[in-house]
Amino acid sequence: MLLLFIIYIAFISLGLPDAVLGSSWPVMSKDLNASTEFAGGISLIISAGTVLSSLYVTKAINFFGIGKVVAISVLLTAIALLGFSLSNVALALAFLAIPLGLGAGAVDAALNNFVALHYKAKHMNYLHSFWGVGATAGPLLMANYLTLKEGWRDGYVTIAVVQFSLVILLFLSLPLWKKFVVKSAERNSTSVAVVSNATALKIQGVPLQMAVFFCYCSIEMSTGLWAASYLTTQRDVLAADAAFWAAMYYLGITVGRFACGVIAEKITEEALIRAGVFIILLGCILLAMPFYDGLAKIGLILIGLGCAPIFPNTLQMTPKRFGSAASQTIIGLSMASAYIGIMIVPPLLGGAAKVFTFASLPMILVLLSVVILVTTERLRRYSNTSSR
């Protein structure tokens, strides 16, 4: 349980910077003389780093051990965030996005598989709710600093300090990781070969799961990155107020995942995922409603609530659907697919907003939600693992 507590803290830290760029960009872009769509380019570079680290995290864990991989990865994110606070040109953010993406991707893939293998479904939902705590706290913290001149710099410094504190905790906990891994190896005396990426791709159902993560993370990141810009440009909401409602979107994810953790032992993972998709669709419809700005704000919260069960419960089902020997590789591929979606869709939305307007955001989210509905329903056939 002590190790689980440390993992929870790590996921709070992982979530802190994820939503900050979208919330702070309307102000940052002015201070750095950058265009609105440049945030999509930064997001693209971060995602490229996460794809690379997700694909190679299995090899890194086998060589260094999961404890060292997580600690070093968080150190990379801390250095990058401190660099964000010191940057005077937008191009510097693009370079710093590389270690930020590499670190975040490795932590994400490694800890998700670790929890899926060794803990119950409720812990996976709680784990991602703690990510939501960080993702909610980040924009709220930044919203307070945005009232000051170039206050976003102080916001990034604060988040970097939190990350460096976690790095110290993670390095101190290395013996705990080692002890857990040794005991786990003793319980599972039979050794299994590491499944390669090429082999995992040939397993039935794996491409479907990758499609789910592609579309889901496209929705999650696009909403988080562009929600504030959507509210300011389409609904004439003030920047600080828009940052607040972007935080409420992440609060919806957080509250939803805590709730999923409570009911995880009573409701199946597939049922939670299905409910989440329909709630996202309802939220997108409200977001598109032109009549009343309050409906758009409620829609953001509903999209967050709908997102809550999809990511953690699909991860939790991975060892059950495809076997524990292949789960780390498949989760790595899933993370890579997720971040490829983040690389492609948010920048495209930024480009579309420049050519058209941000009014297209809700419709694109609806299309992605429909794809998730179709792929998750098809994945249900692989939930019966009795033949594996």
In whole angstroms, give the CA distance from residue 154 to residue 18. Answer: 17
Give the mean pLDDT of 197-226: 90
In whole angstroms, give the CA distance from residue 231 to residue 239. Answer: 8
Give the mean pLDDT of 144-148: 79
Give the mean pLDDT of 10-22: 82
Give the mean pLDDT of 208-212: 94
- Per residue, what are the HEC states of the chain? CHHHHHHHHHHHHHHCCCCHHHHHHHHHHHHCCCCCCHHHHHHHHHHHHHHHHHHHHHHHHHHHCHHHHHHHHHHHHHHHHHHHHHCCCHHHHHHHHHHHHHHHHHHHHHHHHHHHHHCCHHHHHHHHHHHHHHHHHHHHHHHHHCCCCCHHHHHHHHHHHHHHHHHHHHHHCHHHHHHHHHHHHHHCCCCCCCCCHHHHHCCCCHHHHHHHHHHHHHHHHHHHHHHHHHHHHHCCCCHHHHHHHHHHHHHHHHHHHHHHHHHCCCCCHHHHHHHHHHHHHHHHHHHHCCCCHHHHHHHHHHHHHHHCCHHHHHHHHHHHHHCHHHHHHHHHHHHHHHHHHHHHHHHHHHHHHHHCCHHHHHHHHHHHHHHHHHHHHHHHHHCCHHHC
Give the mean pLDDT of 352-372: 84
Q: How confident is the model at residue 160 (pLDDT cuts 50, 70, 90)?
A: very high
What are the structural domains of the chain?
2-387 (1.20.1250.20)
pLDDT in tens, 79-116: 999 999 998 898 999 999 999 999 988 888 888 888 88
Q: How confident is the model at residue 388 (pLDDT cuts 50, 70, 90)?
A: very low
Would you say 141 and 21 are in contact if contact means Cβ atoms under 8 Å apart?
no
Q: What is the pTM of this model?
A: 0.75
pLDDT at position 310, please? 93
Q: How confident is the model at residue 385 (pLDDT cuts 50, 70, 90)?
A: very low
pLDDT in tens, 238-275: 777 887 888 788 888 888 988 998 998 888 888 999 99
| Closest to 19 in 3D by CA, of 128, 137, 109 | 137
Give the mean pLDDT of 192-200: 77
Give the chain's mean pLDDT: 85
